[in-house]
Structure 1
Amino acid sequence: MFRIVLMLTFKSIFVFPVKHINKKERDFDSDAERFEAEVQDVKQFITTHPKYNKKTAFLIDMRVNSGKKRFFVYDLENGKVTDSGLVAHGSGSETGIIGNLRFGNEPNSKMTSLGRCAIGNKYKGSFGESYKLYGLDSLNSNAYMRHVVLHYYSAVPLEEQNYPISDSHGCPMVNEIFFHRIEKIIDGSKSNILLKIYY
């Protein structure tokens, strides 16, 4: 069974709109338990919204340090992680305390937004090939308007490191080699793939 090694828990700070953390969520004693809970949330959402890909989903755990792999490709049919990579968070999410992030949905905030996104069409932007993201929750409803997209950047390393990687302007920004691996999955899918960003 897949397990995430990092066991640290940090207090989160949120700006409008606020995601309230209930006691059940706070009581999760490992990243693996939180991951399993998010997988179940994704499965339930896809069950009630069958237009999304039923075989593969992407999950990003923003509680994991950015120098560690926290972007997970999940096989929904076989219940396992098939790939993982580093991913940046928005510079506006920084609080000055390592591991303590804040999240928002406001334009020009440069913050990462939490919630579910539909991965849309590919286009060529200022960072090269990118995918438009469509926020499906109140916490990320402005994703498209904010130009929050899935893209790669040369400053994001492929391998893990013991210190944070560079920040983005609010986009989930990955390494180019990892991007091309998930690109094959996205382009090969006949339906939109769901991306869930959580903390």
Structure 2
Amino acid sequence: MSKSLKKFSVFISSFFIFLIHLPFVFAKTIPHKNLTSPVSIGASKVTYSTHDGEVPNSNKVSAYDSLQLNTMGLSKQAFDYAIRGFKSLLAMGKLNNDSIISIVDFSLSSAKKRLFVIDLKNYKVLYNTYVAHGRNSGAEFAEQFSNNPRSNKSSLGFYVTGNTYDGEHGYSLHLEGEEKGINDNAYKRAIVMHCADYVNERYIESKGYIGRSLGCPAIPKQVYKPIINEIKDGSCLFLYSPNQDYISHSIFLKNAS
């Protein structure tokens, strides 16, 4: 074979290889979006996904982490237990409002904003504010709890919010305790959500903690109406404490680690 023919053969081979790889030269890489938005919350699971669909084998991002609830003071255990009970109540058909969950974290000082109202479907914290505990539950911290009438103590556990009414404390919200022997006397005890003058930062500056109720989760006057209107009529409210007696007896937290 002549030298010119060999050169021509090499040129043809090189050009053919170039044509094969040409599409890959101009191809673009499409990055995955961050896994941040919840798309559904059912009776058995909470699912998070991207707008373009979930990436296989991607890491799940929990609502607790994505909403940075730890930086707001809410304990991880309180949130995990709250979601566990929420799912159970939903499966039982108890919740008319499955978009909202409210958590009171009694592991925190009453001088801290320990009420968290979370929109699970739109993925945001709607309210984070102060909330009182019963006067016989403790001073700065709620440490003792009771379901007994006239105990003036808070009752832990899961509640379903009821209807609103105008009473002794003005616009208020009925609460239905869902745990037998733990908080099921709430209606009989008139344990409701209402506003109180003693739930404010001036009281904290004076005493080191907010005032206490007769067992009701009382909240500040500045925000009580929008909060009550947001959570009324069948949403889940969870009053949490790392109290082992409660945790071991709660039907919603049975066998919880």
Superposed pair shares fold, TM > 0.5: yes
Contact 1:120 1:134 in 2 (8 A): yes
Aligned to 2:197: 154
Bigger shift: residues 178-187 or 152-161: 152-161
Aligned to 1:74: 118
Contact 1:73 1:84 in 2 (8 A): yes
Aligned to 1:36: 79
Larger Rg: 2
Q: How does 1:26-65 map to 2 (within 5 A)?
A: 31-52=74-95, 53-65=97-109
Q: Which has the higher contact order (CA 8 A, sep 6+)?
A: 1
Considering only aligned residues, what root-mean-square deviation do their CA atoms show, in Å? 2.3
Q: What count of residue pairs does the alignment treat as equivalent? A: 171
Contact 2:198 2:212 in 1 (8 A): no
Q: How does 1:97-112 map to 2 (within 5 A)?
A: 98-99=140-141, 101-112=143-154
Shift of 1:79: 4.3
**Does 2:138 correspond to 1:86?**
no
Corresponding residue to 1:3 among 69, 90, 112: 69
Under a length normalisation based on structure 2, what TM-score does the superposition of the two structures give? Answer: 0.60
Aligned to 2:19: none
CA distance in 2, matches of 1:159, 1:44: 38
Q: Higher strand share goes to which structure?
A: 1
In structure 1, what residue type is equivalent to 2:171? E
Q: Higher helix share goes to which structure?
A: 2
CA distance in 1, matches of 2:203, 2:85: 26
Instruction: Tell me: CA distance 1:43–1:186, structure 2 relative to 1, closer, same or farther (3 Å).
Output: closer
Instruction: Tell me: CA distance 1:36–1:79, structure 2 relative to 1, closer, same or farther (3 Å).
Output: farther
Contact 1:111 1:169 in 2 (8 A): yes
What residue ranges of structure 2 are gaps of 5+ in the alignment? 1-65, 242-257
Aligned to 2:174: 132
Instruction: Tell me: CA distance 1:136–1:186, structure 2 relative to 1, closer, same or farther (3 Å).
Output: same
Under a length normalisation based on structure 1, what TM-score does the superposition of the two structures give? Answer: 0.77
Secondary structure at the aligned position of 1:91 is classed as coil
Instruction: Tell me: CA distance 1:39–1:100, structure 2 relative to 1, closer, same or farther (3 Å).
Output: closer
CA distance in 2, matches of 1:6, 1:159: 21
Moved over 4 A (4+): 158-162
Corresponding residue to 2:215 among 149, 163, 170: 170
Contact 1:158 1:175 in 2 (8 A): no
